[in-house]
Chains A and B, each alone.
Chain A
Amino acid sequence: MFKKIMERSRIKSPWLVHYDCGSCNGCDIETLACLTPLYDVERFGVLNIGNPKHADVLIVTGSVNTRNRHVLEQIHRQMPSPKIVIAVGSCGLSGGIFKEAYNVVGGVDRVIPVDVYVPGCPARPEAIIDGVVEGLSVLADKQRRPDAANGAVAVDHTNSEILYESR
């Protein structure tokens, strides 16, 4: 009974935590713009919180560098399962324009498994909202198959090759 309520409300009202990995702020302010009156995702029950221990969805913007990859890994580890990761913006996908810079490791999927990729430089708020909605189906899938939630089975959206390379 309790588990059913939990499963239902997790999809109906996902809580998300946002971490800026090394982005130029463009995607961050667009992620924040999703919360403000014009887009207002809170009316759908999506809540932005600061604590990764309460979150179901991790939104990462920007490319990963050698210093913040540990922070990103830690935040991902602190989140309870099932959880999904959404990489936002060209830099989060591949490193983008900074790919050749010396301190850039690459996209988010070089460090943690990513479920949904939202392209754009910066990604538009509509695209980010669409990414979260897309991610919820992955979250529902992970709930049904706990193995997938633990990362043992890579879901369709994940680039499994890169995922296992990083481990």
Chain B
Amino acid sequence: MSNTILPFGPQHPVLPEPIHLSLTVEDEVVRQAVPALGYVHRGLEMLTRKKDFHQMIQVVERVCGICSMMHAMCYCRGIETLMDIEVPRRAQFLRVIWSELHRIHSHLLWLGLYADSFGFESVFMQFWKIRERIMDINEATAGNRVIVSVNRVGGVRRDLSPSQCWWIGEQLDEVETELKAIESTMLDNYTVKKRTVGKGVLTKEDAWELGAAGPTLRGSGIARDMRELKYEALDELEFEPVVETGGDAYARGAVRFKETLQSIDLVRRAMARLPGGETAAKVKGKPEGETALRVEQPRGECMYYIKADGSRFLDRLRIRTPTFANIPPLTAMLPGIELADVPVVVLSIDPCISCTER
């Protein structure tokens, strides 16, 4: 049979976000996948001309709602580097706590959507039910469920009281217990394995060559986590990157599941070692010079390049997000798989289109 071209997206039941893939199929088997982007492009980087460097924190938070905390943290670290601001130790720990909470909520969200993509709706509901506890923590500590907006140049806006820390610890214990209860359903279940093992295989060499990032890279057996750069308070909190060797959708799911548990542990340890003191340093003057820095987002490595000329407005802001890095590996994964498995494989890279297109 000759080739047929099927459109996948931009509006599709499994996709929460618009991405368009032109799938060339031959007898239900995908031969080629060509992505088309631009449905969410807003032109955020150009907003540096209209909003000053303090206002830009709110703009970069809205690059992506799911990992907003990490974007703002990376941006603030960049500005702090340019202005030579020493961030108080307490603020550094608080940033780690909120960023790891964001990682937990992002991974739980993804695990739910992923289960939904192969039709396991009850597990989808379970993960989202667990996730609501993290949203409650966000709301209780920062005042908003999704976009917490805790960062500012020089530190953080909000503080955690000892009673809040105790309550967060209690909630995280609950999250851990509930997660452990569905661990076997997600990782050992026959049906789940049937739909995910061996789908969308990315070999170790391909992952490295195509520049995959985050859990997609770690699922292929390469231990590379930007948190090893020891930014903020991570120099005091040891951890091992989670690595799986399968390189398929199952391995990427397992990486994220284990990272969720790891992040819970990180938050607990950060709260236990939370030092006293100020939460924000005084900010004077304007940034000047250029810098590039990286943080680990739930989806992988995110890079910010900031160039400032000593005025209120930044000269240039460039954001490179993990999904952007993961789209070439995705187009390499899709050929050879069946059409029914396309949603599973597309979701397995955890696409965040609004990050990619900004």
Residues of A whose CB lies within 8 Å of any CB of B are 17, 19-30, 32-33, 36-38, 49-52, 62-63, 65, 67-68, 71, 75, 97-98, 100-104, 121-122, 124
Among B39, B47, B131, which residue has its beta carbon within 8 angstroms of that of A71?
Answer: B39
Q: Across the interface, do A20 and B65 meet the contact criterion of CB distance under 8 Å?
A: no
Q: Across the interface, do A29 and B16 meet the contact criterion of CB distance under 8 Å?
A: yes
What is the bound-complex CA distance between A21 and B11, given in angstroms? 10
Q: Across the interface, do B354 and A24 meet the contact criterion of CB distance under 8 Å?
A: yes
Question: 13 A-B contacts, Cβ less than 8 Å apart?
Answer: A19-B18, A22-B40, A23-B354, A26-B66, A27-B65, A30-B145, A32-B16, A36-B112, A36-B124, A36-B132, A65-B39, A98-B47, A104-B43
Residues of B near A24 (CB, < 8 A) are: 62-65, 68, 147, 354
Residues of B whose CB lies within 8 Å of any CB of A are 10-14, 16-18, 38-44, 46-47, 50-51, 58-59, 62-66, 68, 109, 112, 124-125, 128-129, 131-132, 135, 145-147, 352, 354
Contact A101:B44 (CB < 8 A) given known A19-B11, A20-B18, A29-B66: yes
In chain A, what residue has the closest Cβ to B105?
A: A29
Residues of A near B65 (CB, < 8 A) are: 23-29, 122
Most buried by B among A23, A26, A28, A37: A26
Q: Across the interface, do B10 and A71 meet the contact criterion of CB distance under 8 Å?
A: yes
Q: B179 CB to closest chain A CB, in angstroms?
A: 15
Q: A147 CB to closest chain B CB, in angstroms?
A: 29
Residues of B near A37 (CB, < 8 A) are: 125, 128-129, 132
Q: A68 CB to closest chain B CB, in angstroms?
A: 4
Residues of A near B145 (CB, < 8 A) are: 30, 122, 124
Q: Across the interface, do B43 and A102 meet the contact criterion of CB distance under 8 Å?
A: yes
Contact A97:B39 (CB < 8 A) given known A49-B13, A52-B11, A122-B146: no
Q: Across the interface, do A50 and B146 meet the contact criterion of CB distance under 8 Å?
A: no
Residues of A near B64 (CB, < 8 A) are: 24-25
What is the bound-complex CA distance between A67 and B129, given in angstroms? 35
Q: Across the interface, do B129 and A62 meet the contact criterion of CB distance under 8 Å?
A: no
Residues of A near B40 (CB, < 8 A) are: 20-23, 62, 65, 68
Q: B113 CB to closest chain A CB, in angstroms?
A: 8
Contact A36:B39 (CB < 8 A) given known A29-B66, A98-B62: no
Q: Across the interface, do B16 and A33 meet the contact criterion of CB distance under 8 Å?
A: no
Residues of A near B354 (CB, < 8 A) are: 20, 22-25
In chain B, what residue has the closest Cβ to A102?
A: B43
In chain B, what residue has the closest Cβ to A36?
A: B128
Q: Across the interface, do B132 and A25 meet the contact criterion of CB distance under 8 Å?
A: no
Extra contacts besides A30-B145, A97-B58, A98-B47 (19): CB < 8 Å: A20-B16, A24-B62, A24-B64, A24-B68, A24-B354, A25-B352, A29-B16, A37-B128, A37-B132, A50-B13, A52-B11, A63-B42, A65-B39, A65-B41, A67-B38, A68-B18, A68-B39, A97-B59, A103-B43
Q: Across the interface, do A101 and B17 meet the contact criterion of CB distance under 8 Å?
A: no
Q: A167 CB to closest chain B CB, in angstroms?
A: 23
Among B50, B109, B129, which residue has its beta carbon within 8 angstroms of that of A29?
Answer: B109
